[in-house]
Amino acid sequence: MEPIIVKSMSFDEGEPIPVDYTCDGMDISPEIVWDNVPEETKSFVLIMEDPDAPMGVFTHWVVYDIPSSLRLLPENFPKVPQIDGIKQGINDFGRIGYGGPCPPRGSTHRYVFNVYAISVVSLELPTGATKKIVEERMEGKILSKGKLTGIYGR
54-91 pLDDT, tens digit per residue, is: 999 999 999 999 999 999 999 999 999 999 999 999 99
Query: What is the CATH number for 127?
Result: 3.90.280.10
How many Å apart are CA 8 and CA 16, to the nearest integer?
12
The whole-chain average pLDDT of the chain stands at 97
* pLDDT, position 95: 98
Q: In which domain, by residue range, is 126 found?
A: 5-153
* pLDDT, position 33: 98
70: which residues sit within 8 A by CB, 6+ positions away? Answer: 44
Task: Give the tens place of pLDDT for each residue, 34-54.
Answer: 999 999 999 999 999 999 999
* pLDDT, position 136: 98
Indicate the DSSP class of residue 15: S
How many Å apart are CA 89 and CA 133, to the nearest integer?
10
Task: Give the tens place of pLDDT for each residue, 1-14.
Answer: 789 999 999 999 99
- Encode 58-67: b = buried (16+ Cβ within 10 Å), e = exposed: bbbbbbbbbe
Q: How many C-beta neighbours within 10 Å does residue 40 have?
A: 10
Burial class of residue 4, CB neighbours in 10 A (0-12, 13-18, 19+)? buried
**How many distinct structural domains can be found in the chain?**
1
Q: How many C-beta neighbours within 10 Å does residue 107 have?
A: 12
The reply to whether the predicted model has a pTM over 0.75 is yes
